[in-house]
Structure 1
Amino acid sequence: MYSSATSLALLACSSIALAASDNTTLPYSTWMATSFLSKSQTMNSHYVASVLHEGIEKAATLHQNTSLLNYVSNAVSAQVLPNGTLLNWNSSFYSVDELRIGNNLLHFYLASNRTETKYAVAASALRSQLDRWPRTPTGGFFHRDPVYRNQMWLDGIYMADTFYATYTHIFEPANTTAWNDIALQFDLVEQHTRNKTSNLLAHGYDESKKAVWADPVTGACPHVWDRAVGWYFMALVEVLQVYPKNLPGYARLRGYLTTLADGVEKAQDESGGWWLVMDEPYPGMKGNYIEASATAMFTYGILKGIRTGLLEERRRPTALKAYDLMLDRFVTREKNGTLSFDGTVVVGSLSSNGSYEYYVNVPIARNDGKGAGPFMFASTELELWQQS
């Protein structure tokens, strides 16, 4: 049987599906959100669903779309029992991907004026797990234990540290130890994966240097995978929204963002998008292609960075060119009035040999939440700017 929250979510979804087929004059953020929910996507506590939920929430909040907001509120609520237990959560399973739902929990806790305590309880359990998390010898969170011991991936910084920072901001703003620990996670990936010529970062590193792909000096993998850099770019922008400006870590993170923004702008293809494998000499090489999810992530990061004063206004044309490219190449208008989002690579994993051939042979998906969610993020930022 469905819970009452799940039933409400399904009811909302059915009404949203009708709206998606009837209304093609919506802003792209809500149009993509209503379209996506009409395509029978599975919603759970996995990080892809969590990113999608945040995209829907951003669109619904900006445009005061009650149907969408009710849907996402009920969908997140359905993942948490009244006593604050997160459905299907294993407190002894250490995978940073599983922390991403923490951001959704914190959003709806604040949206309830801190009255929905079940969200706080669930978020606190996730935060407590971080205190037990297996770490590299220098203090970095394992990407996953035991499969990726001593490895840090750029993806994981977004999954774990945006939650870690937001939780600290809400519940422990004076916890300098936590703030320093958050900055340390960024420091470590910068130390091991940053290319100081391109200003881009490799997908991840192995501090033990045992992985087949690990550089014998830095431990870094050999390639710059676009979505990993996209996750990391968004993580810097999001963490800097809440990181205390008076602490030394703030200036370092701000510097990492500015440097990365320079690298991202330099790497933009003349089409407006970004290549799947970004390091030279691979852009334009046979098998490589302009990929959708990272293009959305970079667009969002630049636009939000500008809006919140982290990045300079001069960078806006880069984001606008990228957004136009997404509308031309990746957003498809279906005959039934809905939108589809194309061009998202299914996965990129350092469980592989880390080769160029591995990355370019991963399948591409239609309506993958890892692309559609960030497209909603980017669309809300563009629409905010248009409104102002």
Structure 2
Amino acid sequence: MPRLSSLLFGGIACALLVAEGVMAQTRSYAAWAAESAMRRGQGKGLDASGNSLVNYEHGELQWALRLLYERTGNQTYYDYILSGASNVVADDGTVGGRYSLSDYSLDPLRTGPTFLYLYQQTKDQKWKTAADTFKKQLETHPRTAQGQFWHKKIYPYQGWLDGVYMGDVFYAQYVKDFQSTNVSAWGDIVNQIANMALMSIQVPGVQNYNGLLYHGYDYSKKAVWAAPDRGHSPEVWNRALGWYTMALVDVLDILPDGSGRLQVLNIIQTLAPRIRDAADKATGVWWLVMTQPGREGNYFESSGSAMFVYSLLKAVRKGYVADYDGSIVRAATKAYNYMTANWVIPNPDGTMGWTNTVMVGSLSGTGDYQVFAQPSTPTKRANLAAITSK
């Protein structure tokens, strides 16, 4: 049976590539989604007014376009990446797009892998200079006493699952490219990942236990939502966990043997079957708030579900997770089939739209169920527009 071409999903202007599965159509959803996003000018380093903008959603789309380019050889994808990155990096390597190192936010660093990739491809020093700027941020970025990067300066002492994806994929690739023998740097990356799991994983006996990870934690325990034991937030949010699992499988592509790699493997091997088991039995996809399945206001959410499909299939394909009975691949394929049947929207102009993506998910407020739940099913969106998620 034919391989499932890399699947590009939006909804948060994110692009998720599913590497294995079954697909009956000739034209891949990946190509359709990519062409649709490019026609709309999304993920191109510009805001809605055409001003330069460093944005994690753009970096994520560029990552997906790169993988699609490597699979298909379609130069259009590479050219779009180069054009978008050039909108935020000046000829001298200065990072524009309203980026400020002193904000100490991990989110902008998601565009860093694009800079590293373009340096590898072009050897143009400006891309190395831009990447160096992001690396300098990490060198002075505020941390908890355990060494965890704060998600943002405005959220002191807080580690979020999102931040591992935003910061540590770039961090790992930078170290591999320029500091491959830096043992302490590899240890720091693994500590970021492992400590996040340690501080946020559910423990048996808690209400609504599924063994997954809460959205984040506050080391100082001062946030209104911080639990008294470890300071973790009260709910398992599917997209935050999706960011984290994508980070695991992407960082495993980069980590060398002997760097703490076994710790990261152990985490994805622990989480993968639990994510499989947390899927809705009828549809195969995942609830927005995974600790409150079926509760009024909860719903099947598309961006986190896509992230899980990506993470599970890649983990099996790359041998990071053993799937002896095939249940993980079957679960991910079932979810994929539901997503393409229910959440892909053919627009009148021939572009692909996407629906059922959560509008906002943040720990800036109470962090409880009401932050995530909506009184009704999310409005269908006719394009892959950028949606605030912080």
Which letter maps to 1:189? Answer: M
Inter-partner Cα distance in structure 1 for 2:157 and 2:141: 12
TM alignment of 1:300-339, pairs within 5 A: 300-313=310-323, 314=326, 315-339=328-352
Look up the match of 2:261: 250
State the shift of 1:77 in Å.
Answer: 2.4
Q: 2:229 aligns with which of 208, 217, 220?
A: 217
Asked if 1:298 corresponds to 2:299, the answer is no
Look up the match of 2:36: 35
Inter-partner Cα distance in structure 2 for 1:251 and 1:257: 10
State the shift of 1:42 in Å.
Answer: 6.0
Please report the TM-score for the alignment, with normalisation by the length of structure 1: 0.84
Does the 8 A contact of 2:44 with 2:83 survive in 1? no
Inter-partner Cα distance in structure 2 for 1:143 and 1:293: 21
Look up the match of 1:287: 297
Q: 2:160 aligns with which of 136, 153, 170?
A: 153
Inter-partner Cα distance in structure 1 for 2:386 and 2:30: 15
Inter-partner Cα distance in structure 2 for 1:64 and 1:244: 28
Look up the match of 1:267: 278
Inter-partner Cα distance in structure 1 for 2:64 and 2:386: 10
Which letter maps to 1:75? Answer: G
Inter-partner Cα distance in structure 1 for 2:226 and 2:297: 23
Does the 8 A contact of 2:43 with 2:62 survive in 1? no
Q: How many residues align?
A: 342
Q: 2:241 aligns with which of 229, 236, 245?
A: 229
Which letter maps to 1:126? Answer: F
1:42/1:303 Cα in 2 relative to 1: closer, same or farther (>3 Å)?
closer
TM alignment of 1:10-89, pairs within 5 A: 26-41=27-42, 43-44=44-45, 45-87=54-96, 88-89=98-99
Q: Deviations over 1:84-110 (max 9, x none)?
A: 111132121200101111011112222
Which letter maps to 2:365? Answer: S
Asked if 1:202 corresponds to 2:214, the answer is yes
Q: Deviations over 1:295-324 (max 9, x none)?
A: 110111112112211122422112111111
Look up the match of 1:351: 364
Inter-partner Cα distance in structure 2 for 1:153 and 1:37: 30
Instruction: Identify, as 1 or 2, the structure richer in helix.
Output: 1
State the shift of 1:369 in Å.
Answer: 5.6
Look up the match of 1:123: 131
Let me know the Cα RMSD of the aligned residues. 1.8
Please report the TM-score for the alignment, with normalisation by the length of structure 2: 0.84
Q: Unaligned 5+ residue runs, structure 2?
A: 1-24, 46-53, 205-209
Once structures 1 and 2 are overlaid, which stretch shifts more, 307-316 or 182-191? 307-316
Does the 8 A contact of 1:345 with 1:365 survive in 2? no
1:50/1:166 Cα in 2 relative to 1: closer, same or farther (>3 Å)?
same
Which letter maps to 1:252? Answer: Q
